[in-house]
Amino acid sequence: MRLHRLTVTAFGPFAGTQVVDFDALSGAGLFLLHGATGAGKTSVLDAVCYALYGGVPGARQSQGHTGLRSSHAPEAVPTEVSLDFTVGERRLRLARRPEHRRPKQRGHGYTTDKARSLLHEHDPTTGEWRPLSRSHQEIGREVGELIGMSREQFCQVVLLPQGDFAHFLRARSDERAALLGRLFDTGRFRAVEAHLAERRTAAQQRLREADEALLALAHRMQQAAEESGTDAALPELSPGDAGLTDAVLTFAALARTTARERVTSTVLAVRAAEEHHSAALERLAAAEELARLQHRHRQATQRAEDLKARAFERAALRRRLERARAAETVVPALTARRSAEAEHHEAAAAEAQARAALPGHLAQAPVERLTEAERQTSQELGALDAARRAEARAGALDRELAALERDAADDEAVLREADEWLSGWPAEQAAHRGRVDAAQAAATRAEQLAGRLDPARRRLAAAQARDRLVVQLAEATEAARRAADRSAAARETWLDLRERRLAGIAAELAAGLRPGAPCAVCGSERHPDPARPIEGQVDAAAEDAALTGYQEADTRREAAERALDAVREAWEAARAEAAQDTVDDCARLVSGLEADLAAARREAAGAHTHRERLAQAEREHERRLAERHEAGRRTAARTSRREALQRELAVQRAELNQARGEDADVAARAERLRRLAGELAAAAEAARRAEAAARHLKQADAAEADAVWRAAFDTPRDAADAVLDPARVRELQRRLDDWQTEEAALAAELADAGISAAAERPAVDVEAARQQAGKAAELRRAADAAAAAAHSRLAALDRLSARAAEAVRAVGPRRAEHDRVTRLAHLAAGTSAENERKMRLETYVLAARLEQVAAAASTRLQRMSGGRYTLLHSDDRAGRGARSGLGLHVVDAWTGRERDTASLSGGETFFASLALALGLADVVGDEAGGTRLDTLFIDEGFGSLDEQTLDEVLEVLDSLRERDRCVGIVSHVADLRLRIPAQLEVVKRRAGSAVRHHVEGAGAPA
C-alpha cells in the first residue's frame, strides 16, 4: 500500500484545509516530519488512520469525534479528511466526515450533520474517479479486505510506535503473547484450546453418565437376584473403574442361571396343586347338589300345608271381587248425580250474588224484567258519546291555552335576557381584541429577546472561563518554567557524566582485560600498562541513568509546554469573546433577559386562548340576535291563536253543562250507566243458569235410582261402598291367580322323582366339603404366585441383562472418545507429558511468528549495530514450571554470548526496537495476504543515538528504497534536518497549524 495525497480540513490543530503530498515526499524514499511541540505532527498520522479506518490510534480514539475537530475552525466549516492511496493495482480515494454540529442556516440554534464516508476508485482508462460506496459498513469491509489488517495492526506496523517495541523487547512472555496475539489474530487457536477443553469436559461427563447408568442396572439386577434367592453378590464398584463392565456382565450371567432353576421348581409345584384342587371342587359340587334337593322337598311340603290353612281367606277374597265388579255398573249414574248437584249449588249462589248488586226495585224481578232494564240502560249510554267528545275537546283547549301562556312567559324572558347581554357587547368585544393584540406583541418581543439571550449567555460563559483561566495560565506558566529548568539541569548532568566517562573510557576498557586474552581495542594479548581508574570514574550504567533522567525531564517539559499553549489559547479565545465585560455585568444581563423572555413567553402563550375566546364571543353575539328575532315573531303569532281558542272553549262548555245532568261530569254519568248495564246483564244470565241446573239435578236423581235397582243393591250408599279402584281389583285378582299357580307348582315339585329320592337320603355336611376346597384353592394360588414371581424375576433379569449389554457396548466408544479428546486437550493446553516444553497451541503459533520476526529484524539490526547484535527467538522452558515459547534474546558477537534484551543500553534499545518494528511490519504484511506496505512512519527515538549509530540507522532506513518503500521519520532531532533533504514541516500558528513541504525541485505549499 502506498500513500499519495492527504487532505485535512478543520482536523486536530489544522483550522483550514491542508494538503500533504506524499508522492513528492517519497521521491527520495526517506523524508522527515518535524515541527514544534504541539504543532500537529502526530495529527498527520492520526488523519491517515482516520481516513482508512474511521478512528485514530490508541487512547486518542476514546475522545470520540469531538476530539478530532479543530478548535480554531469556524463553526460552519465541517471536519473532513481525504486520502488518496494505492493498494495492489487499484488506486482509491477515501473521504470521511465525522458527526458535525453547526449553526442552522435559517433561524437560531444548532443542527447536527450525520457522519458520512465516500469511497472512489480511479479509472485509468478514462482518468475519472468512479464512486463505489457511501456505506460506513461496506467501506470498512472493503478497506479491511484490501489492506488485510485491522486498525490496531495498521497502527503497529505502519505507524511504528518505538516506545511500544522498546517495551516489547523487555516484556515478559505473557506480555509479548498479548501483543503478538492482536497482530497475528491467533484467537482461532485460543478458541481451539477452549473447544478441546469443553469437549474433554463433555466427554468425561458422557462417560460418567454411561458408567452410572450401567451401575444403576447392576444394582437393579442385584435386587432382582436377591428376591429370587441367589447367593451371588455384586462387588463394590464405582464410575470410572477399569473392570466395571466385566464385573457387571459376570454377575448378570450368574443371576440369570439361578432364576431359571427357580422357575422350573415352581412349575412342578403348580401342577400338583391344580390336581388336588380339582378333586376337592368335585366333592364340594356333589354335596351342594344333594343339600339343595333336600331343601327343596322340605320347602314344598311346608308351603302346601300353609295353602290348605288359608282356604277360607281365598273364598272371602273371591266374593269381595264379585261384589266390586257388580258396583262398577252403578258408578256412572252416581258420578252424574254428584256432578249435577254441585252444578245446582254453584248456579244458585251466583244468582244470589248477582241480584244483591241490583237496585232495590230490581232485586227480585224476573228474568224478562232484568233483560228489558239492561236494554234501556245501554240506549241511554250510547246517547252520551257526543258529550264525551265535547268534554275531551274542552280539556284539550284548556291545555293548549295554558301552553300558550307558558310560551309567552318564556319568550318574554328570552327577550329580556338578550337585550341585557347585547347592551354590553361593544365593551366586551373591545376587551377581547385588546387581549389578542397584546399577546401577539408579546410573541414578537419574545423572539427579539431570544435572539439577544444566546450571545449574552456565550459572553457570560466566556467571561467566567476568562477569569478562571487567568489562574490556570499563571500555574501552567510556572509549571513550564520549572519543567524547563529541570530539563536543562538534567541535560547538563548527563553531558557532564558523558564527558567524564569518555575521559575514563580507557580504564573502563582496561577493567575487562584478562591475561592472554586479546584487547578489544588493539588486539594484543599483552597488557603491560593498563589504565587505572581515575577519581570520580563514571560507568555506563550511571551515564544511561542520567540519559534516562534527561529524557524523562524533557518529556515532562514538552508536556508542560503543550499544556501551557492549550491554556493560553483557551484564555485568549475567552478574552476575545468576553471583551471588557465583567462576570457580574454579563450575569445581570443574562438574568434580565431570561426574566423578560419568560414573561413575554407567558404572555404570548395565551394568544391562541384569547383568539378562541373572541371567536366564541362573536358566535354568542350572533346567537343572541337570532333568539331575540325569533321570540318577537312567536309573540305576534301567539295572540291571534289565543283568541280563537277561547271562543271555541265557550261553545264546548255550554254543551257539557246540558249533557252531564246531576253528575259531576259526562264521564261520571257514563261510568254509572255502564256499571248498571253490566250488573243487569250478569243478574239475568245467572238466573237463567240456576233454572237449567235445577232441571239437570232432577234427571240425575231418576237415573241413579234405576242403576241401583238393576245392580241388586238396596241403596245408592251400598253401591258406592262396594266400589273398588282398578288397582285394588287387579291386586285381588293377582292374589287369587298366585294361589292357584303356587298350588300347581307345589304338586309338580312333590311329584319329582329326584327330589323324592334325595329326601329319603341322610343329610350331607356341605361346610366341611367347602373348607377342604378352600384349602386346596389357597395352595393352588400360592403355587401360582410363586411361579409368576419366578417368571417375572427371570424376565426382569433378562431385560436388565440385555440393557446392561447395550450399556456396556455404549461405554466403549465413549471411553475411547474421552481418552482421545483428553490427550488432545492436554497437549494443546501444554499440560501433557508429551508436550515437553509445556507450550500452549496459541503460544506455539506465536513462537513461530516471533521466530520469523526475529529473523527479519536481525538482518537490519546487524547493519545498525555494525554486525554486533542479532535477535534470537528462544523456546527454552521457563523456570519454576512456567510456560515457555516466547523468549527473545540478543546475541552479542563481541562476547559470543546470549543475553537478555533488557540489558541493552538506551541507544541500543532504540535501534533494536526499530529493527524489530521493521521486521514485524514485513511479517505482518506477508501474513495479511502479501499486501505490500510501501509507506511507513517511525515516531521519535532518534535523539538517543550517537552520530555513528545514527548514520547506520539512516543507512538501513535508506536501504528500504530497494523494495520501493517510503519511510517517514517523525522527530525533533535537529541533526536529521541536515541529513534528510525531503521534509514535511508542521508550523504552529495562533489561528491553526499549517504544513510546509521542503523537497528539492518542488514548491512548498502552506
DSSP one-letter string for 31-81: EEEEESTTSSHHHHHHHHHHHHHSS-SGGGGGGTGGGTB-SSS-TTSPPEE
- Cell numbers given for 312: 277360607
CA–CA distance, 194 with 206 (Å, rounded to integer): 18
CA distance 133 to 137: 10
With a CB cutoff of 8 Å and minimum separation 6, the contacts of 985 are 34, 35, 995, 996, 997, 998
Q: Which residue has the cell 303569532?
A: 637
CA neighbor of 270 nearest in space, from 784, 789, 774: 784
Q: How much is the average pLDDT of 902-930?
A: 68
Residue 395: what pLDDT? Answer: 75
Quote the CA–CA distance of 732 and 830 in Å, as a whole number: 114
CA-based nearest residue to 925, from 862, 856, 845: 856
Nearest CA among 388, 982, 885, 417 for reference residue 668: 388
Q: Which pLDDT score, from 0 to 100, does residue 179 have?
A: 63
pLDDT for the residue 946: 65
CA–CA dist 252, 218 (Å, integer) = 8
pLDDT per position as a tens digit, 307-327:
777 777 777 777 777 777 777
Express each pLDDT in 503-520 by its tens digit. 777 666 777 777 767 776
**What one-character-per-residue DSSP string does 821-885 give?**
HHHHHHHHHT-STT-TT---HHHHHHHHHHHHHHHHHHHHHHHHTTT-EEEEEE-PPPGGG---S
pLDDT computed for residue 1002 by the predictor: 44
Please give the distance of CA 297 from its chain centroid, rounded to a whole number.
91
pLDDT at 795 over 90: no
Write out the three cell numbers for 497: 557524566
| CA proximity to 577, closest of 462, 451, 461, 460 | 462
Task: Please check whether residue 593 is in contact with residue 456, taking contact to mean a CB–CB distance below 8 angstroms.
Answer: yes
Contact 67, 79 (CB under 8 A): no
pLDDT at 183: 60
**Predicted confidence (pLDDT) at residue 471 exceeds the cutoff of 60:** yes
Q: Has residue 790 got a pLDDT over 70?
A: yes
Bridge partners (DSSP) listed for residue 128:
123
Cβ contacts of residue 956 below 8 Å, gap of 6+?
860, 863, 864, 915, 918
H helices of 357-383, where? Answer: 367-382
Provide the β-strand partners of residue 101.
112
Bridge-partner residues for 31, per DSSP?
A: 968, 982
The DSSP call for residue 1001 is T
What is the Cα–Cα distance from 248 to 258, expressed in whole angstroms?
Answer: 16
What pLDDT, in 10s, does the model give residues 158-208?
665 544 555 666 666 666 666 666 566 666 777 777 777 777 777 777 767
| Amino acid letter, residue 88 | G
- Model confidence at 798, pLDDT cuts 50, 70, 90, reads confident
- pTM score of the predicted model: 0.40
Residues 791 and 263: their CA atoms lie apart, in Å, by: 6
CA distance 906 to 1003: 38
Statement: residue 21 has pLDDT above 50: yes
- pLDDT > 50? residue 144: yes
Reading the block at residue 305, the C-alpha cell is: 300345608
The full DSSP string for 417-467 is HHHHHHHTHHHHHHHHHHHHHHHHHHHHHHHHHHHHHHHHHHHHHHHHHHH
Within 928-994, residue ranges assigned H as helices are: 947-959, 975-979
The CA distance from 517 to 64, in Å, is 62
Burial of 905 per CB tally in 10 Å (0-12, 13-18, 19+): middle
How many Å apart are CA 184 and CA 277, to the nearest integer?
A: 92
CB proximity list for 914: less than 8 A, separation 6 or greater:
160, 162, 165, 860, 864, 938, 941, 953
Using CA atoms, how far apart are residues 571 and 741, in angstroms rounded to an integer? 139
Tell me how far apart the alpha carbons of residues 850 and 926 are, in angstroms, rounded to a whole number. Answer: 14
Percent over 70 (pLDDT), the chain: 81
| CA nearest neighbour of 12 among 53, 51, 41, 54 | 41
Those residues with Cβ within 8 angstroms of residue 995's Cβ, 6 or more apart along the chain or in another chain: 14, 18, 19, 20, 44, 984, 985, 986, 987, 1005, 1006
| More confident call, 338 vs 50 | 50
The tens digit of pLDDT for each residue in 870-885 reads 887 776 655 444 455 6
Per-residue model confidence (pLDDT) at position 84: 94
pLDDT of residue 835: 67
Q: Sign of torsion, CA 879 884 885 886? A: negative
Which 3 state secondary structure label does DSSP give 511? coil
Q: Could you give the count of Cα atoms lying within 13 Å of 85 in the half-sphere of its Cβ?
A: 22
**Residue 541, SS3?**
helix
